[in-house]
Amino acid sequence: MPRFDRGDLWKNKARSLQLQLRNRFRVAVDRHWRRQPTFIPEGYFSCTMQRWLRRFRDFRQESLPSSSFYRKKVSKDFSSEESALLRVLQAVAVPVLGNVCHVFMNGLNRVQVYGLEKLHEPLLHRPKDKPLLTVSNHVASMDDPLVIASLLPPHVLLDAQNLRWTLCATDRCFKNPVTSAFFQSVKVLPVSRGDGIYQKGMDMAISKLNRGGWVHIFPEGSRSRDGGKTMGSSKRGVGRLVLDSDSVPIVVPFVHTGMQDIMPIGAKFPRVGKTVTVLVGDPINFDDLLNAEKGENVPRRTLYDAVATRIGNRLHELKVQVTNLAIEQEMLLKTSSTHTAERASGIFQQVDWELFGMGSSMSVHEDSKQRQETLALPNESVTKLQYSHDKHNSRTGFSYRVRGYMDRMELMSFAARGLFMNRGTRSSASCTDITPLRAWKQFLEANVWRHWNYC
């Protein structure tokens, strides 16, 4: 007879408990089969275990009525385990990195900001314990710190204690001890993808807000896959940052475009000579959602989704506006550059370069055409063309147009200065040294004295 059927009561009950626990915690089972009652021998131990398992299941379902979403309180000292060495590194690394990024964006690139006062007002003049939460679109891997540093003046970047905290995925910024130490020293908090909104990184961000700090977050959760052309939906985690803080933070949205040119997809180093346009929006109001949270029995998940949806809609509105502003500025820049080039060309053509010994700039192109056309003609035609060309130059130069308004004697000083400044060019052409006195003498003989003798 098998040993299992010999009547050892405790072994029989242990075997039954083992089968029950295995069926209870099995991952992949048929629901219909799970509902079928398993063979459990009668006994006090098996009945007690079933009763306790049933109570635990009922307690879990009653304690989490809103699909496992609840308000999780976080104390201000939750992340107080930061060492003194880490604070020293943050006090040094954050200002250095911020000012380098500020110089890079405003010196080697061009940044156009609209509504900057909407960010500076809550950043510099908010109450001491009032938290600040900034949200923006995520285009390139270096949106933070490049865009953030370009929006702040240098004296603000020197105050490492009041600068922003941000979140980054552990599989990108905290792969090894070296990168972990670096990103911790520049005030980056680690979050794990797929661990939900109640993980330790989110709790650390809420603790920073509870202490009146500044947290910056990308509600999309990841970078844009098409170079910033479109934006993804906002995740539920930003709703928890707003609703689970002890004091509702000031939420300031801003949207930027142009970072896809500075840091394209696949690039390892940022580029220079690009233009970035930033539009800062008004702070977002959540009073109606806060009243709904206090008055009615609204599920926590619904409130989180409502906050995330409102932030996402505001970012999409700003995205359309900043795209239009970038297009208008690009067209205006092209128009102004074309107008400037035409104006410079007009001024350049109006100068009588013969007075400086450089020839007429207006007739260089025509002179070259006439010489090409008369290469196969007799010498008589060449003489005729040169005569007509000289006559044309005498009537299209700057001095010819000015003679109607100024006397020839008043142009003497201007012509003399031209001869004096160009004496090096004349000497190289004639192989004779022309001094300033000789230049004056030649000018007077050619213009003034001949005019007096004629009179």
Tens digits of per-residue pLDDT, 247-292? 999 999 999 999 999 998 888 889 999 999 999 999 999 988 888 8
Phi-psi region of 187 (alpha: psi -120 to 50; beta: other; left: phi over 0): left
Strands 275-280, 250-257: pairing is antiparallel
pLDDT tens readout for residues 16-58:
777 777 666 554 444 444 444 444 444 555 677 777 777 666 5
DSSP letters along 102-137, please? Answer: HHIIIIISEEEEESTHHHHHHHHHS-TT--EEEEE-
The answer to whether 239 touches 308, Cβ cutoff 8 Å, is: yes
Cα within 13 Å of Cα(369), Cβ side: 6
Give the burial class of 168: count Cβ atoms within 10 A of its Cβ; 0-12 exposed, 13-18 middle, 19 or more buried: middle
Confidence band for 80, pLDDT divided at 50, 70 and 90: low
Q: What is residue 74's three-state secondary structure?
A: coil
Report the distance separating Cα 217 and Cα 358, nearest Å.
Answer: 63
Question: 75-90: buried (b, 16+ CB within 10 Å) or exposed (e) per residue?
Answer: eeebbeeeeeeeeebb
The answer to whether 166 touches 187, Cβ cutoff 8 Å, is: yes
Contacts of 129 (CB under 8 A, 6+ apart): 211, 212, 247
Measure the CA dihedral 237/242/243/247, to 10°: 150
93 backbone dihedrals φ, ψ, rounded to 5°:
-75, -40
pTM, whole model, 2 decimals? 0.63
Report the distance separating Cα 79 and Cα 202, nearest Å.
Answer: 11
What per-residue confidence (pLDDT) applies to 181? 92
Report the distance separating Cα 394 and Cα 388, nearest Å.
Answer: 10
Q: Could you tell me the two tokens for 140? A: 């390139």
Measure the CA dihedral 251/312/97/225, to 10°: 180
pLDDT tens readout for residues 405-423:
444 544 455 455 454 444 4
The answer to whether 219 touches 240, Cβ cutoff 8 Å, is: no
Report the distance separating Cα 391 and Cα 369, nearest Å.
Answer: 17
Contacts of 448 (CB under 8 A, 6+ apart): 409, 412
pLDDT tens readout for residues 356-412:
555 544 444 444 444 444 444 444 443 443 444 444 444 444 444 444 444 454 445
- Per-residue pLDDT, averaged over 84-91, amounts to 90
